Amino acid sequence: MSVSTPRGAPFASGPADGGLDPAARSGYADHPPRVGFFTDTSVCIGCKACEVACKEWNAVPEDGLELTGMSYDNTVGLGASTWRHVAFIEQPVTVVDAPSAPSRAEGVRWLMASDVCKHCTESACLDVCPTGALFRTEFGTVVVQDDVCNGCGYCVGACPFGVIARREEDGQAHKCTLCYDRLGAGMEPACAKACPTESIQFGPLDELRERAALRVADLRAAGQDQAQLYLNDPDDGIGGGGAFFLLLDEPEVYGLPPDPVVTTRDLPSIWKHVGLAAAGLVTAGIALGLGRRPR
Amino acid sequence: MAEAHPVGFQWVMEAKKRGAKVIHVDPRFTRTSALADLHVPIRAGADIAFVGGLINYVLTTGKFFREYVINYTNAATVLTGDFADTEDLDGVFSGLDREYRLYDMETWRYQGEEVRPAVGQRSPEETRARPTREQLRQIRAAGRGERHGSGGAACHPSPDTDETLQNPCCVFQVLKRHYARYTPEMVAEVTGIPEATFQKVCELLTENSGRDRTTAFVYSVGWTHHTIGAQNIRSASILQALLGNIGRPGGGVMALRGHASIQGSTDIPTLFDLLPGYLPMPHVYGNEDLSAYVAAETVQNGFWANTSDYMVSLLKAYWGDAATKDNDFCYGYLPRLTGSHSTFDTVLAQLDGVCTGYLLLGQNPAVGSANARMQRLGLANLDWLVVRDFSLTESATWWRNGPEIETGEMRTEDLKTEVFFLPAAAQTEKDGSFTNTQRLLQWHHTAVEPAGDARSDLWFTYHLGLRIRQKLAAAATEETAERDRPVLDLTWDYPVNGRLEEPDAQAVLAEINGWNSKGEPLSSYTQLKDDGSTTCGCWIYCGVYAGGVNQAARRVPGGQQNWIANEWGWAWPANRRVLYNRASADPDGRPWSERKALVWWDAENNRWTGHDVPDFIADRPPDYTPPDGATGVAAITGTDPFIMQNDGKAWLFAPAGMVDGPLPTHYEPQESPFANLLYGQQHNPVRQMISRPQSLYEPSGNEPGSGVFPYVATTIRLTEHHTAGGMSRFLPYLAELQPAFFCEVSPELAAERGLEHAGWATIVTARSAIEARVMVTERIRPLRVAGRVVHQVGLPWHWGLNGLTTGDAANELTHLSLDPNVHIQEDKAFACDIRPGRRPRGPALRDLVRDYQQRAGITPQTGTQP
């Protein structure tokens, strides 16, 4: 099957398929069900096995030996050489019964979450790539081809999450491939395989979304009223993510944009306005020109 | 557990999914706490006060599992009237010889025991004479705490009992009295745990114990690395025995070991005081020959009554055909202990010029052992040193870049030690087994051949042995021939495979499993004999190669088995997954509840059966009473689940086996900002101390100068790094996750000492000073102890000067005061000062330490009172 993906997303209209079948929109006639990640951060133990497994499998280089002081997060964020990033957020909480504590009756909550490329349904990096290095796979994932990328960097600014970036060593854009090579061999991505607590769950996206809905309902019933799903909704600004999350607080707390929108969303409208303005200018120009006949 | 055993922690998460409550007790809020239902902040070193408080709660509220306690523990056993408790002696027990720093355990005995009973049918002349004080000191110094009995006196198997538990001399009443002062208020004052939090633990624990529910205790080195470490574990065992949680599914006291196969390192020990299977290493006093050893070390009843079977089979494994009845099966070839020969004593021997050669196999004492500086000073006094490791660890390079080179205390050109570095093969490059925390042996297979000159430890040891034997045989003279027999008579003939001539690890496993006189693999330790007809390298592992099949290599997936899943790997002994599981059934052999059924008596088939392999004599009915005069295994009644104990019961009170007391007692750590609030006795009176000019102690409690080191320091682990860093600091993918040595302090401590988050701090003890980046965090909270605020400092111990991420080693700070049962260093609670900024360089570093020592008035006598 040809892997060519027609460019045309900037000029396409919204998804007619409920956002669940980007592979079909990219021209795959016959393809496996869309797969992705459900990252349930409520069971993450912050072990970073996902970070290490990803780097080992994908031969991603080490990218920084600096203490950040950001709790136990020395990875800081996703980038060309970090495709799984575990965030650590320490939050003070009021504990009701701690009369013996010296200065205040407080405890701590420590949120831990493994971030990853969202493999957006409406994928801005894919939209803007001029060379076709970025393409949609038959699994519905978004992958960048090292040997095609010319390092232009358009994708870097396009991503609403700041995921994709260029690597200093080779000048090219790199990001999570959802272990495309492993998927092809019927295996799950390295991070999902390594995760000891099944915080990272891999599988068909519709199944994951069902499972996630049950899980968040359970957590809310148990009193965790800030528990919420993030990027599971096909009606959100990116058409839902191929990788979505269960968070225990607002996205901003985790360093995630609260209401991400595919940055190419307004392009059709922009071009339309440009077209109108151009037409207007041309009309005005003609009108002026017509009104200026030489005597 | 999530920090150090992230993969194992998945089972805690599974339990949580099924409704289990997780309580995490730790001075710091860690990644485990983040997933726990309750975090209990505790002052490091105060664990006996905490667990003692729980014991007191259980006893005073009557919430112990009465039927279990009366039938399966020694609660009803009556002690002699000579026993005096810490209540009577302000913190010590009867029998304390302060001068010789040991306990005479005579007064701890059960009533009904004759003085100095002979074991079995021995004649009076064969009864050993009582050791002298000096001999007793050397016996105690050896510790050998992991073995079953004390040096000489076996406790009486059928003591006087009082099933009403009212006799003031019965264990139950003694226990109650001992822990009476461990009230919730006292717990709060000593440990810093808020009363309401402690109360919550009491309730959760007791609500979840009994017939229908069980609670498990899981611990690791945060409990063992103390001068009262072994007693910490004892305290949990007592509590769990009272709650009826031992031998039951979801119960027990589980040790999380410090690395993947350290359980194996005590089973087939790399410890000086043990032989395989927890047989004691012979001591020069009382174990002169095989019969003396057997007489002294055999316990009358229970499975330790068969000590001679295990011992002789081991000797046959070592010396094969050379070991015969006539020569005591070569028992005489075994070394004898004359005291403590722990790793720390070895360092002293190095400093004293007695030990001149050293082999470090995957061990990095220049970073990983207490008082790292003293370790290196010892290395500097060797003639030769061999280091086998994956990378050039600090123990291999101290001579050119160690801290003493920087301070000028050592100059490379003046050092005489010849250092050899031999690269080691990783676990993926060799066959072998891991024995993990639940006694489970899992085989691993070679995936790739080691590169270059890297070789496995098995290869190294075996080929070294071959060459040594060749040289000894070739150079033999009449006088050396006899001397070298112990090495030359060894069976040393494993098959080797492949280009590298790698010894066949499975052949070693087969030898550990053992065989009979026909060479057939054994399947159970009950087949072992002491007539020389059986060979077995480790009796508790007998069965791992049953039928000639490597049972440790079994990988039947969990989904294809019942929930015990005993076809994955092989657990010792006999593939029993829950030890003492007879206790999961009542005295009539019926499970305490359907919900918690594990093993039970099948009357129809006259056998014990169940989900697990029964840890009991297969065909012994619950109502079995032994005939008069029965000994050994025959003396085990149908209601004695604790088949390794002489009396078949769980010991709430330990009349033998612990050198520092029959009941866990709260003592302050060797270095503490606090006086002992519970007793006049400040420290463990028989702790093992190694006080040298290079290793002085700080004053504690109310002693003058104690305020110079006002903070409690504790070493910690991080998920990203592994032990002394040899396997993590050199790997980029791990180094970048935690790229710098840091200390954890509370915002309050940071304010008090002017520390800046992500800045630098210097931490000082009487041994040395180190620098670390500062992590200011609410996760390490100040506690209120003895009416005032105390701060704790968390120090990861993974760093050293080599690798991709480097830093000072936390063990530069630690001292040498050890648990006397097991010679373990106390690095989980000591005292320090902390100040902002980087530490001095060069000789100024030692000046700073000297300044602190002087301000604190430290002398070689400080802290050494018993």
User: Rounded distance, CA B472 to CA B466, Å?
Assistant: 10
**B740 and B760 Cβ atoms separated by less than 8 Å:** no
End-to-end CA distance of chain A: 67
Q: Is 70 exceeded by the pLDDT of residue A105?
A: no
Closest CA to B320 of B506, B518, B535: B535
Has residue B767 got a pLDDT over 70?
Answer: yes
CB pair distance less than 8 Å for B719 and A47: yes
How far apart, in whole angstroms, are the C-alpha atoms of residue B601 and residue B590? Answer: 7
Chain A residues near any Cβ of chain B (below 8 Å): 43, 45-49, 51-52, 55-56, 61-69, 71-72, 74-75, 90, 92, 97-103, 106-112, 196-198
Per the CB < 8 A criterion, the answer to whether B833 and B823 are in contact is no
* Nearest CB to A46; choose among B7, B31, B196: B31
Q: Kindly tell me if the per-residue pLDDT of B122 is higher than 50.
A: no
Q: Do B777 and A55 touch (CB under 8 A)?
A: no
User: How far apart (Å, rounded) are the C-alpha atoms in residues B782 and B27?
Assistant: 9
Locate B767 and state its tokens: 């041994």
- DSSP code at position A170: T
For residues B320-332, give the mean pLDDT. Answer: 97
Q: Which helix (H) or strand (E) holds A28?
A: none
Res. B128: pLDDT tops 80: no
Residue pair B744/B780 in contact (Cβ under 8 Å)? The answer is: yes
Residue A17 banded pLDDT, cuts 50, 70, 90: low
Question: Could you give the CA distance from residue A164 to residue A162 in angstroms, rounded to a whole number?
Answer: 6
Question: How far B162 CA lies from chain A's nearest CA (Å)?
Answer: 42
Check whether B114 has a pLDDT greater than 80.
Answer: no
* Closest Cα in chain B to A100: B194
Chosen for mutation from A43, A70, A100 (greatest number of chain B CBs closer than 10 Å) is A100
Interchain proximity A45–B194, CB inside 8 Å: no
Question: CA B9, B12, B13: angle at the middle one, nearest 5?
Answer: 90
Q: pLDDT digit string (tens) for A85-102?
A: 999 999 998 765 544 444
CA-CA-CA-CA torsion sign (B64, B70, B75, B78): positive
**For B9, which of A109, A112, A196 is closest by C-beta distance?**
A196
Q: Is the pLDDT of residue B800 over 60?
A: yes
Give the pLDDT band of residue B142 (cuts 50, 70, 90): confident
For chain B, what is the mean pLDDT?
A: 93
| Measured CA distances, B841 to B436, B630, B844 (Å) | 42, 70, 6
Q: How confident is the model at residue A146 (pLDDT cuts 50, 70, 90)?
A: confident
Contact A64 B31 (CB under 8 A): no
User: What integer pLDDT is reported at residue B333 of this predicted model?
Assistant: 97
d(CA B277, CA B266): 8
B677: its two tokens:
């609030």
Please tell me the least confidently modeled range out of B88-97, B127-136, B274-283, B521-530.
B127-136
* A2 has a pLDDT exceeding 90: no
- Are A64 and B736 in contact (CB < 8 Å)? yes
Which three-class secondary structure state does DSSP give residue A84? strand
Which residue blocks in chain A are alpha helix, DSSP H?
22-25, 49-58, 124-128, 154-158, 180-184, 190-194, 205-221, 267-290
Using a CB-CB distance cutoff of 8 angstroms, which residues of chain B are in contact with residue A58? none
Q: Is the pLDDT of residue B631 over 90?
A: no
Of A62, A92, A102, Cβ closest to residue B732? A62
Check residue B124 and give its pLDDT. Answer: 37
Q: Are strands B817-818 and B688-689 parallel, antiparallel or unpaired?
A: antiparallel
Closest-CA distance of chain A to residue B26, Å: 14
Residue B711: its H or E element: strand B711-716
Q: Do B196 and A43 touch (CB under 8 A)?
A: no
Within 10 A of A243 (CB to CB), how many other CB atoms are there?
Answer: 23
Local structure of B535: helix, strand or coil: strand
pLDDT of amino acid B282? 94
Q: What is the pTM of this model?
A: 0.93
Pair of tokens at residue B319:
């010396």
- Asked if the bond preceding B423 is cis, omega within 30° of 0, the reply is no
- The answer to whether B665 and B334 are in contact (CB under 8 A) is no
Q: CA–CA separation, B446 vs B261, rounded Å?
A: 17
Average pLDDT over residues A280-285: 93
Which parts of chain A are beta strand (E)? 35-40, 84-94, 106-116, 134-136, 142-144, 165-166, 173-174, 200-204, 228-230, 243-247
- What distance in Å separates the CA atoms of residue A209 and residue A201, rounded to the nearest whole number? 11
What pLDDT is recorded for position B303? 78
Residue type, A2: S
Residues 165-194 of B with CB under 8 A from A: 188, 192-194
**How confident is the model at residue A3, as a pLDDT?**
31
**The pLDDT value given to residue B258:** 83
Residue from B15, B306, B269, B255 nearest B144 by CA: B269
Predicted ipTM of the assembly: 0.93
Q: How far is B295 from chain A (nearest CA, A)?
A: 50
CB B755 within 8 A of CB B749: yes
CA distances from B375 to A203, B362, B402 (A): 52, 15, 11
| pLDDT per residue as tens digits for the range B473-521 | 998 898 888 899 999 999 999 999 999 999 999 999 999 999 999 999 9
- Judged by average pLDDT, the poorest of A161-175, B97-111, B542-556, B706-720 is B97-111
CB atoms within 10 A of CB A291: 7
Closest to B809 (Cα-Cα) out of B771, B757, B764, B853: B771
CA dihedral B286, B291, B297, B299 (to 10 degrees): -140
Q: What angle do CA B254, B647, B121 make, to 5 degrees?
A: 130
Q: Cβ contacts of residue A227 below 8 Å, gap of 6+?
A: A42, A216, A219, A220, A246, A247, A248
User: Collapsing DSSP states into helix, strand and coil, what is residue B25?
Assistant: strand
Kindly report the nearest CA distance between residue B697 and chain A, in angstroms: 29
Residues of B in contact with A92 (CB under 8 A): 778
**pLDDT bucket at B339, cuts 50 / 70 / 90:** confident
* Cβ-contact A136, A128 below 8 angstroms: no
Q: What is the pLDDT of residue B233?
A: 97
CA distance B36 to chain A (A): 11
pLDDT at position A213 is 98
Minimum-distance CB partner of A97 among B10, B39, B194? B194
Using the beta-carbon criterion (under 8 Å), do A71 and B777 form an inter-chain contact? yes
What is the rounded distance in angstroms from the CA atom of residue B417 to the CA atom of residue B378? 10
Which of B14, B727, B728, B733 should we substitute to test contact with A (largest number of A Cβ atoms within 10 Å)?
Answer: B733
With 0-12 / 13-18 / 19 or more C-beta atoms within 10 angstroms meaning exposed / middle / buried, residue B790 is buried
Which of the four pLDDT bands, split at 50, 70 and 90, describes residue B842?
Answer: very high
Residue B779 to residue A110, Cβ atoms within 8 A: yes
Over residues A16-37, mean pLDDT:
85
CA-only gyration radius of chain B, Å = 27
What pLDDT, on the 0 to 100 scale, is given for residue A187?
98
Q: Is pLDDT above 50 for B783?
A: yes
Chain-chain contact of A49 with B6 (C-beta, under 8 angstroms): yes
A51 CB neighbours in chain B (<8 A) are 733, 737
Q: What is the pLDDT of residue B260?
A: 86
* Joined tokens for residue B761: 């701090």
**Is pLDDT above 70 for B106?**
yes
**Residue A286, token pair as written in the block:** 């003609």
